[in-house]
Structure 1
Amino acid sequence: MSNTTITRAQAFMEIVNTVLQKMSSVRKPQRQFMLMLLPLWLCLRGRANFRNLSRYSHYHEKSFSRWYRRDFDFTEFNRLALQPLSQPALFMRHS
């Protein structure tokens, strides 16, 4: 079961990395931060405040505060992440 979890986590990170690279508005520092933040949101227990986020990462609370002030286009991120699912050829290969 642990191999499956690792494989799913790796697949998730590959998808996120690919989508972030396609986003022209996201530079390398923000991409690295988002690559750390998105999986952290998935595995975080309790409230997702800056103190808890800093507890489970190498970033300080103040770093989270600064990054959260910056704009991030979640609409574009979601559109690019779901775009491959709208292509019927992908569904045919896995059937």
Structure 2
Amino acid sequence: MKILAVCGFGVGSSMLLKMTAEKAVKELDINAEVENTDLSTAQATPADLYLTSAELKTELVHSVNAPVYSVKKFMDKEEVKQCLMDFRTKSNQND
């Protein structure tokens, strides 16, 4: 599975979100590659799941073909774990 952590410039906050997502993925024993990127690159990069801020979710959701979850606190591992568990539950329902 490929997860993209997305922020406006692909440097600061997306890197924090990537690091948090990597910890959450490990704890949930999910086989995933987590990358961070900027909004315009994310719009052109296929992934299974996108994590971003509420402000960028609106733009991103209309330009990608995978679920987009907004995260309020990029360093909150429990919030990111909840997004991942919700994604996994919905993915399993669609199988």
Query: Same fold per TM (> 0.5)?
Result: no
Superposition TM-score, scaled by structure 2 size: 0.31
Superposition TM-score, scaled by structure 1 size: 0.31
The structure with more strand, counted as a fraction of residues: 2
| Structure having greater relative contact order (Cα 8 Å, sep ≥ 6) | 2
